[in-house]
Amino acid sequence: MPFLRIPLFALLASLFFCPRIPAQTTAFTAEDLVFFQQKADTFQRWLNKTGIGTALQTIKVRLKKDSTELELLLRVNTSDLDTAIALWNRAKDDYSLTAGQPLEETLFQTFAHFMEIPPAQGNVQVYVLDSDGAYVPCFYVGIWEEKGRIRTEARIRECRDKPVDINLRPLPLRKTVKGKTSEIRRQLSSAQVFDSIESFLREKYIRTNCYNRYPELLVELRTESFLRISISDLCRVVLTDEQKGLWCRTVETLGRQCNDVRRERLEFEFNYLTGSNNLSGRLVGKFGSGVYRPRKSGYMDMEPDFIDYLDAFHIKFQQELKAYLEK
């Protein structure tokens, strides 16, 4: 990465702030969002002018569901995790040396300045996208203001999948020979285990329990010892107390159906060898827009925002799957 150039206006941007709306928490409007989207281009030009653009690129701005907080999503300019980590660390070191201030603070302050919002109503998130445009779960940086101080949370190389580890009991079989009954244990084959897993997932999650949600199960890959399955367009499976937004609640008062509850996506991988009695794998929980059905790359990892929900679901899922496979 070339040495960063920090023009005077960029430094002043972090010192002067003129809010566009009152300081109290106020919901943003559709007109505000149009303004924010235009300013996102301005923010990218600022990144390029300072040299930070060699490492970071603007993905988009978006409003949180209650419309009281604006989010700026940035990406590191590579799909390779190791290269992304190196780019991010180099950008931070270069900026600290030239500006005498942490890069994270300047990103957030300049974001709030350009968007003309109270800092408490915004946050910046940095991700890595893979070659398909999907969010890489092993890289996340969040920046926000709390009680007048800029806070940063970084999860780098902390993959957010939940391990699946289930010890299965062999199926009991009773055999009678010359009037004597004995019990033997039949080892589960990988075909039996994978067939049962697919049946369990279909019975458990492929049902329409929310308006305008049509869950879809896809077997992405199946071999003798490996199974990968995804389920998309779920509703209130992991985020069990997810509520509808103000717009939908208003529409429903007029007698019309509406649902903008976040969509959920579950991704599973399972490993099992016939006779091993040990099922391993991983579970990834993701969420997407409740307004439109996102593509695979449009879903984002539930961690860190919804880690408590995912932890609870992970425990319950393993217990229920084990009981189903051993029945």
Q: Report pLDDT for 321.
A: 93
Q: Within this chain, do residues 20 and 149 fall inside the same structural domain, yes or no?
A: yes
Q: Report pLDDT for 171.
A: 56
In a domain? residue 3: no
Expressed as residue numbers, the domain containing 316 is 162-325
Q: Report pLDDT for 17.
A: 42
What backbone torsions phi and psi does residue 225 show, to the nearest 5 degrees? Answer: -130, 5
Rg (CA), the chain: 25
Q: Report pLDDT for 104.
A: 96
Q: Within this chain, do residues 113 and 29 fall inside the same structural domain, yes or no?
A: yes
Q: Within this chain, do residues 202 and 296 fall inside the same structural domain, yes or no?
A: yes
Q: Within this chain, do residues 57 and 151 fall inside the same structural domain, yes or no?
A: yes
* CA distances for 101 relative to 58, 86, 93, 252, angstroms: 21, 19, 10, 49
Q: Report pLDDT for 11.
A: 44
Q: How far apart are CA 186 and CA 170, in angstroms?
A: 5
Of 156, 171, 204, the residue that ends a domain is 156
Q: Report pLDDT for 234.
A: 94
pTM here is 0.56
How many Cβ atoms are within 10 Å of 61's Cβ, its own excluded?
21
Collapse the DSSP code of 250 into the 3-class scheme (helix H, G, I; strand E, B; otherwise coil) and give the result: helix
Q: Within this chain, do residues 248 and 140 fall inside the same structural domain, yes or no?
A: no
Q: Report pLDDT for 101.
A: 93
Q: Within this chain, do residues 105 and 175 fall inside the same structural domain, yes or no?
A: no
DSSP state of 271: E
In a domain? residue 2: no
Per-residue pLDDT tens for 233-291? 999 999 988 888 888 888 889 999 998 899 999 999 999 988 788 899 889 899 988 88
- Averaged pLDDT in 10-residue chunks for the chain of 327 residues: 46 43 69 94 95 95 86 94 92 92 96 95 92 80 92 79 80 55 65 93 89 92 91 93 87 90 92 86 89 81 83 92 89
Of 139, 156, 173, the residue that ends a domain is 156
Q: Report pLDDT for 123.
A: 95
Q: Report pLDDT for 16.
A: 41
3-state helix, strand, coil in the chain (%, to 5): 35, 30, 35
